[in-house]
Amino acid sequence: MFEKCDLSKKIDDKTFEKEIKPLQVEIGVLTRALWEHRVPIIIVVEGWNASGITMVISELIQHIDPRGFSLHSVGSPNDEERARPLLWRFFTRIPAKGRIAIFARSWYSRSLAEQVNGIDWKSAVRFSIDTINSFERQLADDGAIIIKFFLHISKEEQKRRLDEREGNLLTSWMITKGDWDFHHHYDSYLPVIELFVEGTDKSYAPWTVVEATDSNYTCLKVYSTIIKRLRKHLDRIESSGKPGGKNNGKNGIIKPPKTTVKRQSAPQVEYSRPEYEKHLVRCQEKVRDIQYLLYKRKIPLIIVYEGWDAAGKGGNIMRLVRLMNPRGYDVVSIARPDQTELDHHYLWRFYQRFPKAGHITIFDRSWYGRLLVERVEGYCTPSEWRRAYREINEMEQAYVGSGGGLIKFWLEVSKDEQLERFQDRQNDPLKEWKITDEDWRNRAKWNEYEEAVEEMLSRTSTAEAPWTIVESDDKYYARLKTLQTVIDYGRQLLR
């Protein structure tokens, strides 16, 4: 596709001035209107070094209300970012509803720089493309407008510009050896960039390749492309009477194959108290060793706890971490989202808490809330929770694919056992705070929850991230089983 570009395109200053003016006014009007409709907008500007990314963005933001956008300048990742999966730093930067995020370079440059060094670069590119496509589709499904530019210049033009910058005292220090290395490999990067652009040129997130030799032409093309996309989206919203993105939701709902996951609350084995205590300490010591080794090998691990109210999640987690080094793990309790979280894609708040390399994050409830409480209580629309099966599977696969460990526990108790525990809590002044009216309300909806649980387990048990059912009518058994599962899984990871 790049060879078809006519890199000699030019626009003279007078024509430019005349044509850009109305576009500058219109972009202000359109972005304000979309802000009122709470539509998030993502603008990605990619391109060769010295192709004018900064210039384009500089021009663009003059006419957008500075209160409405954030600019993310993407360079090498910092320590914190390097310790996490590639997309983490971008997912945490997606715009809230009604805001604009402009990316000066993006996940594309980073994928190119970080994943195309190995021997097996072709499959790395394939994996990157798949991961990026699901990332962008998820954002589009959530209502975001995604506009992507690649600024294209020839190798000769690039050399001319690098030389020019090196000749200027104010800018010469910014040109590094890396820039020249990249320049010398222009021809080998070209096909890889084409592969990326073609593989990620989707209807929900199309690319515009801009012939960037002349800055007037470049600016005009960028402006008019953005305006066309924004206007189209706005028209659709205003004619349908609701935000456009939600409609796209349908595309995202593809039913993954069902697996049968057998729920069971009664354990096969029973432990006496002394047996339990002996096993417990031994397992805890092994878990501690595994934590050290994961830390040393810089492998991150996520452990998800889901289960019925009073299934014993809290006590179970306490035993799991008993001998772990507290500086290397985090227990994240997931409660109702706050307003800022509601203003973002629902996975945003979880990405923020993902573990860095070598660390363990234990989620006490998790993103599965979308498929359980949010579904049953109607906190999200049916198309939203239906879409979530696929979104969650993709997120987990991307994370596991990048080398992270993931264990998912479902703590199953019988309805009778739950009742007994509720009553116990109510009668114990030290435990009373643990039980609320909400627990009783949830219990009244047992059947609806059961349906949601069944569907969740069967649709999100994948080869990369299977569920482990923990039979929790007996707390001793349940605790030993989770510990043993972590030990077995940890050893596999460390192999």
Per CB under 8 A, 274 contacts a second copy:
no
Per CB under 8 A, 171 contacts a second copy:
yes
Per CB under 8 A, 172 contacts a second copy:
no
Nearer to a second copy, 34 or 395 (CB): 34
Per CB under 8 A, 304 contacts a second copy:
no
Per CB under 8 A, 13 contacts a second copy:
no
Per CB under 8 A, 219 contacts a second copy:
no
Per CB under 8 A, 292 contacts a second copy:
yes
CA distance 323 to 327: 12
Q: Is 7 left (phi over 0), alpha (psi -120 to 50) or beta?
A: alpha
Among 57, 101, 205, 371, binds a second copy (CB under 8 A): 57
Nearer to a second copy, 9 or 231 (CB): 231
Among 238, 289, 424, 428, binds a second copy (CB under 8 A): 289
Among 222, 304, 317, 452, binds a second copy (CB under 8 A): 317
Per-residue interface string for the shown chain with a second copy, residues 331-360, x marking contact by CB under 8 A? x-x-x--xxx--------------------
Residues 208 and 151 sit within 8 Å (Cβ to Cβ): no
- Provide, rounded to whole angstroms, the least separation between the CB of residue 333 and a second copy: 4
Sign of CA dihedral 60, 62, 68, 73: positive
Among 93, 322, 425, 443, binds a second copy (CB under 8 A): 322
Considering only residues 403 to 442 of the shown chain, the ones binding a second copy according to CB under 8 A are 430, 433
Which stretch, 3-11, 77-85, 367-375, 471-479, contacts a second copy (CB under 8 A)? Answer: 77-85
Residues that bind a second copy (CB under 8 A): 25, 28-29, 32, 54, 57-58, 61-62, 65-67, 70-71, 73, 78-80, 104, 170-171, 173, 289, 292, 296, 314, 317-318, 321-323, 325-328, 330-331, 333, 335, 338-340, 364, 430, 433
